[in-house]
Structures are given as structure tokens and as C-alpha cells.
Amino acid sequence: MDSISSRGIILNSREYKDKDRLVSVLSKDHGLITICAKGCGKQGSKNAFMSIPFMVIDFVCSISHGYYYLKDGSIVENNSGIMNSLESLTTASHFAECLMDSSLPSENSREAYELAAYAFYSIATRPQDYKVLYSAFNWRLLTIVGFTIIYEDIDPKLRYRPGMSGGDIRYDNSGISGRAVQALNFFATCSLAELFAVKLTDDIADELKAFTHDYLCTQFDKEYDALSVLEDLNN
């Protein structure tokens, strides 16, 4: 029986049979995999942490007939701050949903893992910046899967409407600001450490949150509404 050991991030955990769990893990070395964690739903189980999303873990799995079975695991970063605010929890849920929906080429899985590690840690520690983190994550994930371009010759004083197909941009007074477009270019090209340290004004953060949401929904052909609960509360 083959086995693997790696580091990964728990994106989702769901009940399977009686006390078992099927755990979706974005791994550093093997991309998105589903691990069967036997008995982790039992009281006092040493692997009970496999039921909790958004943690960074080290794990060892056996492989049998193409299925992964947990042999051992430990917590590296619990990202517990995510559970302390509604902003963090809803944004982290959005991150996890998008990562599970992404069809990531194997050569891009490590970059996606690194993006996720920065994203979950950042939202756990900086919930007040959730709009910026949401936008930065959206655009960088779209860049990883090949759905964005770099917009050339952008005047920060003008307004633009980037095409939802990803290949065109035009002047439009009802579009997003040139500074917001410049931020998109930054999101696509900067280091991940810079990506989640960026500071934006509230108006640009609002522009980017709305635009990257619409663009993401178009490219993935799905309506992402994890943050709608925050909008309902604000209204």
C-alpha cells in the first residue's frame, strides 16, 4: 500500500458513515485531494481536528485503490481567529469554496496552496480588511488559472470597464477607477507577501470587491454569495 506525507489546508469536512469524515484538503504537493479520516468524529479522537476547516496541517495518508486514508496528522496553524468574527468566517468560506471549484493544473497547485495559506492567515488576523483580502484573493486565483491579463497604459484619473472575457478594456465613466485597475495589475504580479499586505482606500476597496466578485462569477459560471450575509446585515 502506497503512502504520502505532505502539508495542506482543510477546506471542507463532511460526515461519512457514522464517525468518519471526508475531508477536502488543498495539499502543498498533490493539489486538491479528499481524505477519509476514520473515527475522527468520535469523542476524544486524536484526529478530531480534521473536522475543523481552515487549519494548516501536516498529514500522512495511505493510498488504496485511488482513495486516501488518514494515518496520522498534526496541526501547524489553526487560524482560530477566523471563528472570532462574521467577516472572517464568511470570507474564509468564500476562499475555500473558490479553491474547491478551481480546476487547477498540477503545475499550479503549489502556488494555489501558497495563496491559500496567506489568505487564511490574513483573514484570521485582519478581519477589518476583509474587502481588500477578498478582492486580492479573487484576482490572484483568477490569474493562477489563466483568466486575467495585465492592463496597459492605465491613467489613474480616468475610469474603465474591463471586459468580462478578460481580453479588453475601454474608457467608461460608469466603470471602475484607473487606480482600481492599477490595483488589479498589482494583485496579478506582486509577491504573495505583498498581496496580502496591501492597503487601499475604502472607495477603491468597494470598487474591487464588486468587480472581482462579478468577474469571478462570470469566469467560474457560478454565483458566489458567501458575503451576502454581511451585505444583508449592513442593509
Give the mean model confidence (pLDDT) for residues 56-80: 94
The identity of residue 73, as a single letter, is: G
pLDDT in tens, 177-221: 999 999 999 999 999 999 999 999 999 999 999 999 999 999 999
The average pLDDT across 104-124 equals: 89
State residue 45's pLDDT score.
Answer: 84
Alpha helices (runs of H) in 77-227, residue ranges in sequence order: 86-101, 109-125, 130-144, 178-189, 192-195, 202-220
- Which domains are seen in the chain, by residue range? 2-77 (2.40.50.140), 81-234 (1.20.1440)
Nearest in space to 196 (alpha carbons), one of 154, 140, 112: 140
Q: With a threshold of 0.85, does the pTM exceed it?
A: yes
| Residue 153 burial by Cβ neighbours in a 10 Å radius (0-12, 13-18, 19+) | exposed
Q: For residue range 139-163, what is the model confidence (pLDDT) as tens digits?
A: 999 999 999 999 999 999 999 999 9
Question: Which of 99-103, 122-126, 215-219 is predicted least confidently?
Answer: 99-103
CA dist 195 and 132 (Å) reads 10
Mean pLDDT over the full length of the chain: 92
73-92 pLDDT, tens digit each: 999 999 999 999 999 999 99
